[in-house]
Amino acid sequence: MESPSRPLSLYFLPFLSPGHMIPLFEMSRLFSARGHRVTIITTPANAQLLHTTISKDSSSGHPISAHTFPFPSKQVGLPDGIENLFNVYDIDTATKIHTGMHLLREKIEQFITANPPDCIFSDMFHPWTADLAIKLRIPRIVFHATCIFAMSLKDSMRKPDSPHLSVQSDDEPFLIPGLPHPITMTKSELPDYVRTPNGYAQLMEQFREAELKSYGVLVNNFYELESDYCEHYKKTMGHKVFHVGPAALIHRNAAEQADRVHKAVVGEHECLSFLNSKKPNSVLYVCFGSACIFPNDQLMELASGIEASGHQFIWVVFGKEENEEEEEKNKWLPKGFEERTKGKGMIIRGWAPQVLILDHPSVGGFLTHCGWNSVIEGISAGLPLITWPLYAEHFYNEKLVTQALGVGVEVGKKDWNLWIDAGKNVVRRENIEAAVRRVMDSGDPAAEMMREKAKMLGEMAHKAVKEGGSSHRNLTVLIEELEQLRDQKVKGN
């Protein structure tokens, strides 16, 4: 694509966690690929994670770079190099990282004020950028790291007449009014700050107020997947929504898919060697994101349920060492599990090349925690999902998959907890086996219909990011609007 004669200067300010940083970084690359000057504002350790990709893009003529601010490790009591929430499984460390990012605000604000861009793309966790953008007379685009469906449900829950306030028990289903589909939930599935308002609820209100001051919302999704909810949300919030995803589809080959910011603990060739030996749609991929470590009793139930289903699998597990003692292994894996499943299953202990795995034709289903990045990556791969939500907006995402789209099966998880307590109430092996069979067993007409729907959505996702597709057009529209706003500002001065 021809480079613009007057490229925009665009700042991207991600939050310091993989689930937020990776998709916003990938979307920033879409702008630099169009010839606009992109600057990622982050810390040195996080910039290092992005360095290889930024160098490749720059070598290809795409104007993208990182501007760093030293993370105040000593001030918050953290070792050097701990600058994001990857592999953080305790409240104390997470709080220190949040505090460190807050301490950087003044320096970042000074830099942006002295070197104003044409637009700030800000993660929701930086609400202060809304007032800064107004002061500098530039647009702010907010990124929530989720879909508009989830944002619509979240907004419904904050209303004073929300039905969750009048149910008799935590497990009594209620219908959420005013939505394009009849979506039902239970109170136990709602975040703790919704069930019992606390300090985080006040923080969420700050995020909402900052969004209302912003020019629009950037979404890692494609319009067709949630068109009704996009229109609903635009009416509710009264501003613009730009679907420009799925972001992970920017990766065009296996090598790029295998190396997305964090280095995978298994190589591209090892994964492909396993998957290439399997029949189409025969492997179940199991992953619960990088922010949750299940207790041993939940891992034992999960392993037992997968094995009882009889299906082949790739299972990603965090918090376990590759060469642990047999005694330790027997605490979370049934005795002889790895021997019995040799050749049928692969356990990846750490960061996995998820997009590479999901896109392989031998993978036929995805057991997921319903983090938005995982959901949209599974949908982009045309896969039916087994939903096991844990925290954040996961239960909202589950309802999109199972109730609105009809491309998933619930495993039966009904309690929302903080990520550190996500495995507190154990899901039993019988539930896991039944859910896996419903998605992976061949010959079931309902499963085949779900698989066809999922395949169709995957094709739509790929079409959306191609030239002429909805996400490609939305990106063009957003760039043109930002250019007009810049030119109007110049004329006004």
Q: Map out the domains of the chain as residue ranges.
A: 9-249+465-492, 266-462
* Mean pLDDT across 82-94: 90
pLDDT for 268 equals 85
pLDDT for 260 equals 66
How sure is the predictor about 290, in pLDDT bands with cuts at 50, 70 and 90? confident
pLDDT at 1 over 60: no
Angle at 217 between CA 212 and CA 219, to 5 degrees: 150
User: Does 266-462 match 9-249+465-492 at the fold level?
Assistant: yes
pLDDT at 324 over 80: yes
* Mean pLDDT across 96-111: 97
Q: Pick the catalytic residue: 57, 118, 123, 359?
A: 123
How sure is the predictor about 210, in pLDDT bands with cuts at 50, 70 and 90? very high
* Mean pLDDT across 100-107: 97
* Mean pLDDT across 15-44: 97
Burial 249-284 (b: 16+ CB within 10 A, else e): bbbeebebbbbbbbebebebeebbebbeebeebbbb
Distance spanning both ends of the chain, measured CA to CA: 31
pLDDT digits (tens, 9 = 90+) for 48-69: 999 999 999 999 999 999 999 9
What CATH code is assigned to 9-249+465-492? Answer: 3.40.50.2000
- Percentage of residues in the chain having pLDDT higher than 90: 85
Stronger pLDDT, 484 or 292, i.e. the higher one: 484
pLDDT digits (tens, 9 = 90+) for 234-259: 998 888 999 999 999 997 776 676 66
Active site annotation includes 251? no
Kind plus residue range of the DSSP H or E element containing 122: strand 119-123
pLDDT digits (tens, 9 = 90+) for 127-185: 999 999 999 999 999 999 999 999 999 999 999 999 999 999 999 999 999 999 999 99
Biggest alpha carbon–alpha carbon distance for the chain: 73
* Beta strands 345-349; 184-185: pairing state: unpaired
pLDDT at 72 over 90: yes
Q: What is the DSSP string of 304-337?
A: HHHHHHT-EEEEEESS--TT--HHHHTTTS-TTH
Q: Pick the catalytic residue: 20, 232, 243, 360?
A: 20
Class of domain 266-462: alpha beta
Active site annotation includes 123? yes
Angle at 478 between CA 476 and CA 483, to 5 degrees: 95
